[in-house]
């Protein structure tokens, strides 16, 4: 049930997130302050219990695996490291069983502590977390724990206070782009600067997502461009959204309705499989870039948020689309009446 990361990676058929998972702490591209603190803990042999938290794909699992690789030689790995993740059972039995027996047994061949990695610890039940409090305390001399989670609030305060916390924030585009370029070079891909920008925008700080988008787009299309990235991920193209906004603000209601509700969006929706929710998200982003008078922008944003709320509760997409059309029309009327 416990899975340990031991074998040298067979890189040929691996998804790129694994193929390009940094093996050493120095290879990680972000959170340098956290990494240097951990390096210092390791070199001074004072590693505390750790708690890593933050959004997905920011390097939490990678960091602790790299630490473990630095702490233990390959052949010791299995006996010194216990890694549990979401695929393992997370109830109290696991804490009382495998975790306890691993933590409580000393190794005669090697001095120093063992490492228990509890990945996705927010999936552990309250009972299991409570049981862990005692285990952590009792075997501190022998074992260090590293808890990893996305939501800190799901870890009970008593466990939080036993660990040194590190927050792994989303990665910035400046950090992601050089890493993606490295992969592009290794895989000899054809990518445009716009394509790269689109990947980074869609990934919003999640390195795993950016690698997955890069891999799927480059497999589906010969060239990675803005359009192929958006098409591959099922997002509306920028040009479609710009068109929608353009029609919405410049055409009268009847033409607009025919343009949006009848052929083109139906065309967008059926041919490109777009959901109104995605269209709404992109339109919302674009609205921030159009030079509206503040009061009008505010009114529009509130209306779009209302539509989004209604959509989320499962209302009819076509009616909500009409409502979006009407919201824009109201803006257009306001702008026209203010100008005259």
Ligand X SMILES: Nc1ncnc2c1ncn2[C@@H]1O[C@H](COP(=O)(O)OP(=O)(O)OP(=O)(O)O)[C@@H](O)[C@H]1O
Residue 320 as a binder of Mg ion (CB under 5 A): the answer is no
Least distance in angstroms from the C-beta of 42 to Mg ion: 20
Residue 56 as a binder of ligand X (CB under 6 A): the answer is yes
SS (H, E, C) 76-98: HHHHHEEEECCCCCCCHHHHHHH
Q: 276-335: which residues touch ligand X (CB under 6 A)? A: none
Phi-psi region of 205 (alpha: psi -120 to 50; beta: other; left: phi over 0): left
Least distance in angstroms from the C-beta of 64 to ligand X: 8
Which tokens go with 199?
């990947």
**Strand ranges inside the chain, DSSP E:** 50-53, 81-84, 114-118, 143-149, 164-167, 190-191, 223-224
Residue 114 as a binder of ligand X (CB under 6 A): the answer is no
Which tokens go with 70?
């630095």
Sign of the C-alpha dihedral, residues 212, 215, 221, 225?
A: positive
Residue 215 as a binder of ligand X (CB under 6 A): the answer is no
Instruction: Choose the contact partner of 58 out of Mg ion, ligand X, none; CB within 5 to 8 A by kind.
Output: ligand X
Q: In the complex with ligand X, which residue's Cβ is closer, 167 or 297?
A: 167
* Site string (131-170) toward ligand X, x via CB under 6 A: -------------------x-----------------x--
Instruction: State how far the Cα of 23 lies from the Cα of 15, in Å rounded to an integer.
Output: 15
Residue 60 as a binder of ligand X (CB under 6 A): the answer is yes
Q: Which of 2, 4, 5, 17 binds ligand X (CB under 6 A)?
A: 17
Q: In this chain, which stretch among 54-62, 69-77, 124-132, 242-250 interacts with Mg ion, using CB under 5 A?
A: 54-62
Residue 62 as a binder of ligand X (CB under 6 A): the answer is yes
Residues 6+ apart with CB under 8 A from 134: none
Residues β-bridged to residue 118 = 84, 147
Instruction: Choose the contact partner of 208 out of ligand X, Mg ion, none; CB within 5 to 8 A by kind.
Output: ligand X
Angle between helices 238-250 and 253-260 (to 10 degrees): 160
Q: Using alpha carbons only, what angle is made at residue 268 by residues 327 and 335, rounded to the nearest 5 degrees? A: 25
Q: Which of 25, 30, 95, 235 binds ligand X (CB under 6 A)?
A: 30
Residues at the contact surface with ligand X, assessed by CB under 6 A: 17-18, 20-22, 28-30, 56-62, 150, 168, 179, 207-208, 211
């Amino acid at each position: 049930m416990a899975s340990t990361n031991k074998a040298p990676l067979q890189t040929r058929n691996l998804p790129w997130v694994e193929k390009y998972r940094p093996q050493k702490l120095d290879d990680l591209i972000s959170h340098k302050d956290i990494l240097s603190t951990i390096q210092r803990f390791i070199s001074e042999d004072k590693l505390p219990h750790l708690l890593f938290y933050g959004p997905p794909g920011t390097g939490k699992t990678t960091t602790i695996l790299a630490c473990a690789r630095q702490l233990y030689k390959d052949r010791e790995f299995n006996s010194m490291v216990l890694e549990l993740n979401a695929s393992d059972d997370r109830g109290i039995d696991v804490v009382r069983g495998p975790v306890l027996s691993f933590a409580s047994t000393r190794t005669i061949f090697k001095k120093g502590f063992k490492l228990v990695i509890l990945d996705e610890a927010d999936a552990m039940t309250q009972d299991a977390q409570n049981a862990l409090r005692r285990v952590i305390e009792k075997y501190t001399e022998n074992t260090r724990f590293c808890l990893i989670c996305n939501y800190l609030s799901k870890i009970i305060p008593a466990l939080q206070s036993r660990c040194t916390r590190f927050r792994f924030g989303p990665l910035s585009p400046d950090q992601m782009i050089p890493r993606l370029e490295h992969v592009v070079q290794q895989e000899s891909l054809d990518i445009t600067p716009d394509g790269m920008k689109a990947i980074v925008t869609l990934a919003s700080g999640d390195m795993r997502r950016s690698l997955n988008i890069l891999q799927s787009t480059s497999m589906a299309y010969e060239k990675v461009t803005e359009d192929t990235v958006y098409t591959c991920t099922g997002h509306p193209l920028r040009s479609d959204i710009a068109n929608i906004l353009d029609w919405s603000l410049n055409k009268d209601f009847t033409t607009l309705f025919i343009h949006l509700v009848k052929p083109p969006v139906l065309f967008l929706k059926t041919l490109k499989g777009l959901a109104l929710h995605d269209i709404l998200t992109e339109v919302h982003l674009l609205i921030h870039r159009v030079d509206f008078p503040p009061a009008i922008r505010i009114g529009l944003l509130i209306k779009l948020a209302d539509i989004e709320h209604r959509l989320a509760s499962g209302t009819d997409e076509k009616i909500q689309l009409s409502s979006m059309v009407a919201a824009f029309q109201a803006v257009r009327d306001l702008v026209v009446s203010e100008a005259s």
